[in-house]
Every structure is written in C-alpha cells, then in structure tokens.
Structure 1
Amino acid sequence: MGKMTSADISTVDAAAALEGWHRARTAYVTGTHGPLSLVFTHWGVAGEDAVAEETARADWPEHVIFSRLQRDNIDTGELEHGYRIWDTRSPAQQAFQGIGSYGYNPEWVIDAEFEYVDESRFMPFEHLRDAGATRGLPVSGDIVFTLNGVEHRLAAFDAGEQLQLVFADATSGSESYASGRFLFVPRPAVSADQTPGTRFPLTLDFNHAVVPPCGFSNQMNCPLPPASNRFTEAINAGEKKVIWADGFSL
C-alpha cells in the first residue's frame, strides 16, 4: 500500500468526525425532546389565552412531558398559543431503527458565499402542514455558489446564529426524505451598517444534511424547499431517511 497523502488523511479524519456527528444526531432524535418523542401538538385560537397545563395533560399518562410554544397566526398575525406532548415511549421511538445515510463524500463540501441583502427581508416559505399557505421567514441574504458551471442562489433563513437551508435534489422521494432535507451552516457576522451586496465566505458541507423533524413525527410542521433550492443533481451526501421496523409508518 502506498503512503497516504495529506488529502487522504484529511478525508479519513473527516469521515471519522462524521461518524461521531451521526451518533450525536441519533442521541438527539431519540432524546426527551427529540422529534421521535413528539406525540401531540395543539394550537389554540388566535388571541385566546393559553390552555392550562392540567387541562392539556388530562388525557395523557403521567410520564409524558409538556411544553409550551407560540407563533403568529398565518392569516392575521395575531399571537397563537400552543403546547406539545412528548413521550419517550412513543410508537415512533419503539419502531426507530436508525437513520440511513451516505458515507462521507468530499465532493459535496462546497465553497460558497453569503451575499447580504437586508436584515428586514422576509420571504414566503410553504410548510408541510399548512395546506399550501406560506409563512414569512427572515432571509437576510442569499447563499451563492457555482456547481457544474451553473450559479446557484439559495434562500436560507436566519435561525439565530445559523442559516437554515431547506433543499431538495434528485434523490428526494427515492433515496432520501421526500419533502427535502435541512442543512445548517454558521451565519456570518454581519454588522448593522453592512452594505447590501457584500459577500462573506462560507462552506456548505452537505455531509451534514439532515432529515427534517417531520420525518420523525407527524406532529412537526416543516418548511418546504422553495423553487430556488431544488437541485437537479443528486446530492448523495448526508442523511437519507429514517429506518423503521417493518410495518410501521408515520
């Protein structure tokens, strides 16, 4: 066997790190507040008070976990209160057998740029369980890169210190989750007085693409890929689909 090159060593190290990342992902999805544990989501009527925890828990076993959430009504913008019930003994937890994934693929580690547009820009994203309606999400810039000679301009919404990219590709619905996958990347630090059009370097590592929460629980409502985020190429990197025991489906 010939001597390993620095590129070979880098690939081996990256593959080993990815294995650790996959283990962490499994620990998360099977955890107390992981998506496999989510068995119920309730949203109240806009403008009404939140449901009392005692009332929400009434029809559930004592061991379940209760949490609150809120959002703006999709039509009026009024505040809606909601809650979730989490159960680590859920049918999905019991049927879960792992997350199918591709091996490490260095071809899908891509140098890109974040082109700042406007902190106050919101773009419409359709969500899986909103019957075709859209919700405005903050997209302060675009991710730009060239792939096979074609420039791509992706919409990734701001999620705190990260950018959340929702994408589909030629594997969606066959090898990978039908509704698309997520990729999180660190959001470049943009100062308040930054000039629109300024670009910041970033790396898209599709080896860290994940099955969205709605692939683990039908109580999740995930954003769907906009037209700009649908690749004709097969992105054979990252997670594929959830593996269930025979006979189980969400």
Structure 2
Amino acid sequence: MGFEDDWRSWHASRESYAGAEYGPSALESTNWLITEPAAVDGVPGLWALTGDGGIRGSDLGTAGASVTLRGTETIRFGRRELRVFERNGTIGLRVFNPQRPQRQRFSAIDAYPPREGWRVPAVFEETPGESITITAVDGEEQDSPVAGRLHFTLDGIPLSLTVTRGAQGALSAVFADATNGIETYRFRFLPVDEPAADGSAWIDFNRAYLPPCAFSDQFVCPLPPAGNRYTASIRAGERAVILGR
C-alpha cells in the first residue's frame, strides 16, 4: 500500500471510530461522584462511589434494585451506556448516548491532504528520571514521566517534541501550532513510532489527530506542554470535526 493509500485507510478508520454509536461523539456527561448518592442526568437511580474503586447505583426501579460497576464493566439504560472513568485515582461516571445531537450530526473529520514532506526525520533523546506537569482542559494537574525528546528541523528552525509513553508503552505527544483556532482545533495529539536503536526516528505530522474533547467537551484531555507549542503552522493531519445539519 502506498503512502497516500495508507493515510486514507487510517483516516477512514478514524472517522468510523469518531462517529461510532458509542464513540467519542456520544459522550454526554462526565460525573464526579462522592460517597453520598446523587442523581445523574438522563439515567435512573442514585449513584455514588463505593470507596474501593467502584460506583454503585441504587433505587434502579422496582424493589430498589442496585448495581455496582468496576473497571471496564458497563451497563445500559435504554440507549445510554454508563462506564467507570478513573483519573489520578479519582473515579467518575461517564454517560454515552448515541442520540446526543453532536453524534447524530457527526459527518466527517476535515483533514489536510497527506504530504510526504510532513514526515520529518528526527533524533530521539532519552530523558531518564525527568517528569513534567501536565495540565488538563479542566485545570487538573499531574506529574507525568517524560520518555524523551525528538529533535527535528522545520523550515530550517531547530525544534523539539516532548513525548510520553501511554499505558501500552507507545510513544505519543500533544502539540499546538499556529493553525490552532483558525484552521484547526486548539491542539492535537500525535502518535510516534518507536525510534531505532541509534536514536534515529521519524515524526509524521500527517497522523496528527483530534483529541477526544474535540468531539465532546465532557472529555478531560491533556493540554500541550510548553515545549510543544510552536509558532510555525503545521498544516498536516486532522483539522476539525464536521457536523451536518
């Protein structure tokens, strides 16, 4: 498969994921619960933390039925699906609704045409023991280990990209550039292939993609660290969500 065909296949899978029945566009609410039972919009019963990493729903209809959710367990009430969400040890309850207007209106993801010129060579520098403070869109902060930095050149200007490792060990970055808020969403995510043993690597900005919070403001995405905010315009990758009428 050629470069452009490979990119178009990736882009099609991204659109399929984004508009899926219970995909990111369907996130209706993120509810930060306490141990005191409280109502959650759109679903029956009262919901509270169990104190041991779970969520308990009570008064769920006849005979005071109850349920406890932990980990990846889910439950549906009608079309709405409830999922447990954990962040920095804090547990929340997420409600996904395929009938959320933004999901029903989801049409496509606008993107720049793929260009091999946006696949740039880089040199990977490991940074053992270093961490940075990551701020989420809602202001929550947490320290995150830095996997390293990728040093590269863009239009003759030397730059670096700070990358971290996800739960599955893959490298990724969050970055912002001069197109944000004009041509593109306010920031974007970027997967990074594992560098070679000699530190040589590639950064493919064609694979820059929209964070989940571009599809629903109920996601709490991490913002780009200071070193990943560029004054240059990176016209590659996904641009914005397209909604139909």
Aligned residue-pair number:
216
CA distance in 1, matches of 2:20, 2:59: 25
> Which structure is higher in strand share?
2
For the 8 Å contact 2:55–2:84, the answer to whether it is kept is no
Matched, 1:150 2:157: yes
5+ long unaligned stretches in structure 2: 36-48, 67-75
- 1:129 is matched with which residue: 128, 138, 142? 138
The AA in structure 2 aligned to 1:135 is Q
- 1:172 is matched with which residue: 162, 180, 187? 180
- Specify the alignment match of 1:194 in structure 2: none
CA distance in 2, matches of 1:92, 1:86: 12
Deviates more, 1:79-88 or 1:215-224: 79-88
Shift of 1:67: 1.4
Secondary structure of 1:157's aligned partner: strand
Identity %: 32
CA distance in 1, matches of 2:233, 2:126: 28
Deviates more, 1:153-162 or 1:231-240: 153-162
- Specify the alignment match of 2:238 in structure 1: 239
For the 8 Å contact 1:38–1:86, the answer to whether it is kept is yes
CA distance in 2, matches of 1:110, 1:33: 35
For the 8 Å contact 1:48–1:80, the answer to whether it is kept is no
5+ long unaligned stretches in structure 1: 1-9, 73-78, 191-198
From the superposition, tell whether residues 157 and 54 of structure 1 become closer, same or farther in structure 2 (CA, over 3 Å).
farther
Deviation sequence 1:109-162 (CA, Å, 0-9, x none): 0111221111x43211121112xx522122121111122332212212211332
Shift of 1:54: 5.1
TM score, norm. by length of structure 2 = 0.79
Secondary structure of 1:24's aligned partner: helix
Deviates more, 1:152-161 or 1:208-217: 152-161
- Specify the alignment match of 2:220 in structure 1: 221
The answer to which structure, 1 or 2, has the higher relative contact order (CA under 8 A, 6+ apart) is: 1
